Amino acid sequence: TPSLLWLRRDLRLSDHPALTAAVGAGAVIPVFVLDPETEALGAAPRWRLEQSLVSFEKTLKDKGSRLIVRRGAAAQVLRDLVEQTGARAVHWSRLYDPVSKARDTAVKSSLKEMGITAQSHPGHLLREPWTVETKTGGFYKVYTPYWKAMAQLDMDAPLPAPKSIPNPQNWPDSLKISDLGLGKDMRRGASVVAEFAIVGEQEAQGRLGAFLSHGITEYASARDRTDQGGTSGLSENLTYGEIGIRAVWHAALRAREEGKPGAETFLKELVWRDFAWHLIHHTPHITDESWRPEWQSFPWRDDNDDAERWRRGLTGEPMVDAGMRQMYITGTMHNRVRMLVASYLTKHLMTHWRVGQKWFEECLIDWDPASNAMGWQWAAGSGPDASPYFRIFNPETQAEKFDPKRTYRRRFIAGYGGSKEADALKLFEAVPRSWNMTPADPYPERMVDLKAGRERALDAYQKHKAA
């Protein structure tokens, strides 16, 4: 009898414990379900998921297998498939955000009611969030001790891809991936972002290989330079599990053993990702509420016209606008600039971090519920181990340090310093027509005086703290 392999953010063959378990038990039916939870993702994440599914379907086909695609509530769809195929087991890789956990718990109990084995597996993280504990048996709220604990642990070695995937006698019906319409809300942006996205397992492995042979040496200093491609770019692949985190970890460990400078810093960044999932597992409110309850009542503004200018990359603050525009053109944003635009929105513009969190979810092809929530709360000062409230990034100083020759700003802002860079011009093909942006528009004046904005924020934060 076959097993169902329910795929979500694990679209790869290697380092895939759920797949390995399913193959070990016999025939495997790989299934993707477009459930309401996945349908609720933002436009760019959904589009990027479609790319990933198309690529993985081909990978499966090359192995002689298939991808069965269905739409509906996961519990019901999986029950139907169990009945249609006679499957006795369903395997999947665990996720740890509150939305996924609620769905997966319902799926588990519904399958168990039918007498079906419902087995979840690790694979999305280096360590399951409950296996990393403080000395007193609690979870970590601060990164540095978490990193120290992780650095002491042995991480499982990545599993090899199965040699073959046994087929069932009969395949159930399937929709086509294109029937799901996952890309439809990206509209104009899709063809622009597609030029930058690097999709699929093989490509992700190539990207890791290239980074290990070139980028990792300079990583410690280059990772903050917005004008250099100094980072791995792997987040878009990790978010859909096109590459296993344990494979990346062990490759970086080997680089450290070979004495490659930068490897240690890279390992630390990988641990930030696990830390985000550790936090979302133990404190699921991080996605919706200020993590520190005292910040729940902070008078951040709801969505507003200034925030709309921020979204459009029209604040007149070049480093901020370059970041926002990079996101529409490429689907990602440099980490240093993510911190900067988040600080600018929550502090200089005194706008709620949730407004920014939501917009990133709409626009990032590497959107991840855990890292995004943690990043926003870090910038706003409301999270665990957050940037202190008085740390207000100065976009000008940041630009001098991390984009000294204005390369990054010119690359993404047409008209800035006379820029006619090809990438900057792509913005006008990517953003909604209703924004009425054209290359002929003059670059706007600064919307907020940096000093006044900083003082206004400091004043509000100090008052709130005193109260």
The residues that touch ligand FAD, with contacts defined as CB under 6 A, are 223, 231-235, 238-239, 269-270, 272-273, 276, 335, 338-339, 342, 360, 364, 366-368, 371-372, 375-376, 379
What is the bridge-based pairing of β-strands 89-93 and 68-71? unpaired
Which CB atom, from 10 or from 366, has the smaller least distance to ligand FAD? 366
Q: How far is the C-alpha of 385 from the C-alpha of 397, rounded, in Å?
A: 23
Which CB atom, from 2 or from 384, has the smaller least distance to ligand FAD? 384
Which CB atom, from 85 or from 287, has the smaller least distance to ligand FAD? 287
Q: Least distance from C-beta 78 to ligand FAD, angstroms?
A: 28
Closest CA to 174 of 253, 278, 320, 60: 60
Which CB atom, from 162 or from 381, has the smaller least distance to ligand FAD? 381
Which CB atom, from 190 or from 363, has the smaller least distance to ligand FAD? 363
Quote the tokens at residue 347. Answer: 């502090």
Q: Least distance from C-beta 350 to ligand FAD, angstroms?
A: 17
Which CB atom, from 186 or from 270, has the smaller least distance to ligand FAD? 270
Estimate the share of the chain in helix, then strand, then coil, as percent rounded to the nearest 5: 55, 5, 40
Phi, psi of 182 (to 5 degrees): -65, -30
Report the residue closest to ligand FAD, judged by CB: 375
Q: Least distance from C-beta 136 to ligand FAD, angstroms?
A: 25
Q: Least distance from C-beta 273 to ligand FAD, angstroms?
A: 4
Q: How far is the C-alpha of 186 from the C-alpha of 190, rounded, in Å?
A: 5
Q: Least distance from C-beta 338 to ligand FAD, angstroms?
A: 4
Which CB atom, from 210 or from 452, has the smaller least distance to ligand FAD? 210
Q: Least distance from C-beta 358 to ligand FAD, angstroms?
A: 12
Q: Least distance from C-beta 357 to ligand FAD, angstroms?
A: 8
Name the one residue in this structure whose structure tokens are 């998921």: 49
Which CB atom, from 120 or from 330, has the smaller least distance to ligand FAD? 330
Quote the tokens at residue 235. Answer: 């987040």
Which CB atom, from 120 or from 235, has the smaller least distance to ligand FAD? 235
Quote the tokens at residue 452. Answer: 């006044």
Q: Least distance from C-beta 229 to ligand FAD, angstroms?
A: 9
For residue 30, give the 3-state DSSP assignment.
Answer: strand
Answer whether 30's CB lies under 8 Å from 7's CB.
yes
Cα angle 341-347-351, degrees, rounded to a multiple of 5: 85
Answer whether 199's CB lies under 8 Å from 242's CB.
yes
User: What are the distances in angstroms from CA 108 to CA 93, 111, 112, 131, 288?
Assistant: 13, 5, 6, 22, 25
Exposure of 287 by Cβ count < 10 A (0-12 exposed, 13-18 middle, 19+ buried)?
A: buried
Answer whether 418's CB lies under 8 Å from 430's CB.
no
Burial 81-98 (b: 16+ CB within 10 A, else e): bbeebebbbbbbbbbbbb
Q: Least distance from C-beta 14 to ligand FAD, angstroms?
A: 18
Report how far apart the first and last C-alpha atoms of the chain are (Å, whole number).
64
